Structure formats: structure tokens, C-alpha cells
Amino acid sequence: MQPLPGSAHPTYAITDLGAGIPSAISNHSQVIGHFRAGVFPNSKGFPYFHSCLWDKGKRIEMPTLGDWYSEAVSINSHGQVLGTATAAGRGRPTTLVTHPCLWDGPTPTNLDADPRFHGTNALYITESGAVYAASPPQGPRKETHLWFYPAGFSPGIRHDVGVIGGPKIKPLFINDSGMVVGTWETGEKHNATDRFGVRRAFAWRPGEKKWTDLGTFGGQRGAPAGLNN
């Protein structure tokens, strides 16, 4: 392929991070994610995962909450990491109960102990340290709310940003303005043998009464892999 006249072509260096699944990168090129840490006993090979941080090409395992599973999902330039983890005593593969978790340095904090964070997921931390979190479906209409914590993890209040959608909504990524992308289930089946149903991508902005269907490329499923500011 010939370069276009007058166009800039940056060069890239490829760094092998080793085994693992990255989920986010900071402005300081720190990468977070999770890796396969082992197999549950007597589970016929069912794996469990631990959070990790790649810094300067080296993978650093992040402590759990004393149980099997953890997953880091968001990091800011201050090195504060948000994710989910199972607490001690919850470690059977069929009954995993995850809690919102903060890594600010080497020690993890179970945010579920703070009533403001109880039951939240799809966590995101901004560069200023403020936090967004989406709740799982709740209330009689099974609505998913987006919450904003202007003081981050410091004592303070949280604001209900709005209702993202109903029980078939799954928020995946949030940005600094509170925009959310994720997947929604249509309730349709692709064919008679379809086990999972049709799943499409969506986008939602604070103030909107309904999310926007982003669709697929004509296939059965679509899901966003990330969201920038």
C-alpha cells in the first residue's frame, strides 16, 4: 500500500504483555485487565481470573478480596483502579457474587461496604477521581440507573444521573461525560437452535429518555469494545 501524499505515518513499538485480557489503559500507558490464575477445585476445568496491572511491560498481579475472582475495568492517571471481585466465602463457580472494588495502591477495598456503592457495577473513574457506576436492574420496573460520585471515594453524596433502561440492558463502558454504551437483548431468537438470542449494541447519554440502538453489521450480535471521551 502506498502512503497518501502529505500524510503523517507514526511508527509503533509492539510490547508483548504475555498472557491475559486487557480492559483499559491510562494516559501513562499503564494497562489493566485480568488473567487466568487457576482452575476451581472439582469443577472439571472451570477457570478463575485475577486482576493485573501491566507497567513498563511487566505484569503485576493485584490482590483479591480474599476469594477466587477479580477483574479490573477502569484506571486513571493517578493509578487508581476500579473493578469487581468476589469476597471471601463466595468462591463456588455457580454462586459467584461480585462486589465493586478499588485498588488505590497495593490494598484492595471492598466498596460494597459503602452503602453508596452497594450493588453497583460497570464502574468508571475519571481523571479527576470522580466515579460513575451503573446499578443492576432494580425496583418494580427493573430499571438500570447511572450514578455519579463527584467526590469519588471520599465521604459524600451520589447523584442519580438517570435511567439507562430496563432489565435487558447491560452497560459496559462509561466516559467522563457519563455517556454509556453496552448491549441490549431484543428477546428474539435468531433461529430454532439459538441459545442466547439477538443482542445489539446501544448508546445512552445523560438526559436522554431512551438509549439509541447502534445495531450490528447485519449479524445476530453486536457489542462495543470501548468508549473514549
Q: Which domain holds residue 124?
A: 21-166
Mean pLDDT, residues 42-58 taken together: 88
Q: Tens of pLDDT along 55-98?
A: 987 899 999 998 888 999 999 999 999 999 988 765 555 456 78
Q: Is residue 86 part of a domain?
A: yes
**Long-range contacts made by residues 78-81, C-beta under 8 angstroms, separation at least 24?**
78/127, 78/129, 79/26, 79/28, 79/30, 79/104, 79/105, 80/104, 80/125, 80/129, 81/32, 81/51, 81/53, 81/125
Q: How confident is the model at residue 6 (pLDDT cuts 50, 70, 90)?
A: low
Q: Is residue 27 part of a domain?
A: yes
| One-letter-per-residue 3-state SS of 166-218 | CCCEEEEEECCCCCEEEEEECCCCCCCCCCCCCEEEEEECCCCCCCEEEECCC
Q: What is the pLDDT of residue 181?
A: 95
Q: Is residue 173 part of a domain?
A: no
Q: How much is the CA Rg of the chain, to the nearest whole Å?
A: 19
Strand order in the sheet with 199-204: 169-174, 180-185, 199-204, 212-215
pTM: 0.81
Number of domains in the chain: 1
pLDDT at 199 over 90: no
pLDDT at 193 over 70: no
SS3 content of the chain, % helix, strand, coil (to 5): 5, 45, 55
Q: Is residue 90 part of a domain?
A: yes
Q: Is residue 61 part of a domain?
A: yes
Q: Is residue 213 part of a domain?
A: no
Q: Is residue 119 part of a domain?
A: yes
Q: What is the pLDDT of residue 192?
A: 58
Q: What is the pLDDT of residue 190?
A: 64
Q: Is residue 208 part of a domain?
A: no
How high does pLDDT run on average in the chain? 86
What CA–CA distance (Å, rounded) separates 153 from 70? Answer: 19
